[in-house]
Copies of this chain bind each other. A is one copy, B any other.
């Protein structure tokens, strides 16, 4: 069916935009830490932002944590966004589709908060909930492609 005519398309559009915004925010946190802590990897950044010559070889632990949280977004949020339009094209039931998209978005956001605040096991549980949403979506795509 026509992707943009699916009843869950507006939900997906809103959640996709929200998730991209959330990734931008996580990305900026490491930039702010770098400037506050004078922890630059590129010598030209040290000069431009803080008029210093010093760079660091070892990452600061807080910045390394933020980079890991951001990398996890690349590993989990981007595949969700990439598969989202394909998912709507296989015409899932509107209620299930909206439920999976909203659940993924909520728990991915919680994941970022829990990662930056170092809270376990809630971070891992949030990760698993998000992943289960994606697995159900993948299962519906497989089923449609093979049986449909």
**What residues make up the interface of A, taking CB atoms closer than 8 Å to B?**
1-4, 9-14, 16-18, 20-21, 23-24, 27, 41-45, 47-48, 57-58, 64-65, 68, 70, 74-76, 78-79, 81-83, 85-86, 89-90, 118-121, 123-124, 131, 134-135, 138, 141-142, 144-146, 148
Interface of A is mostly: helix
Contacts of A45 in B (CB 8 A): 120, 124
**A118-B78 contact in complex given A9-B89, A13-B86, A17-B138, C-beta closer than 8 Å:** no
Contacts of A120 in B (CB 8 A): 42, 44-45, 47-48
Beyond A45-B124, A48-B124, 17 extra complex contacts between A and B, CB < 8 Å: A2-B4, A3-B3, A11-B145, A13-B144, A14-B146, A16-B141, A17-B86, A20-B134, A24-B131, A24-B134, A44-B118, A44-B119, A44-B120, A45-B120, A47-B120, A78-B82, A79-B81
Copies of this chain, count: 3
Contacts of A48 in B (CB 8 A): 120-121, 124
How long is the Cα–Cα vector from A17 to B57 in the complex, in angstroms? 35
- Establish whether residues B24 and A86, one from each chain, have CB atoms under 8 Å apart when the complex forms: no
Partner among B16, B24, B68, B76 whose Cβ is within 8 Å of the Cβ of A82: B16
**A145-B82 contact in complex given A4-B3, A75-B74, C-beta closer than 8 Å:** no
- Establish whether residues B44 and A145, one from each chain, have CB atoms under 8 Å apart when the complex forms: no
**Pairs across A and B, CB under 8 Å, 22 listed:** A2-B4, A3-B89, A11-B145, A13-B86, A13-B90, A13-B144, A14-B142, A14-B145, A17-B86, A17-B145, A18-B142, A20-B79, A21-B135, A24-B131, A41-B64, A41-B68, A42-B68, A42-B118, A70-B75, A79-B81, A82-B82, A85-B86
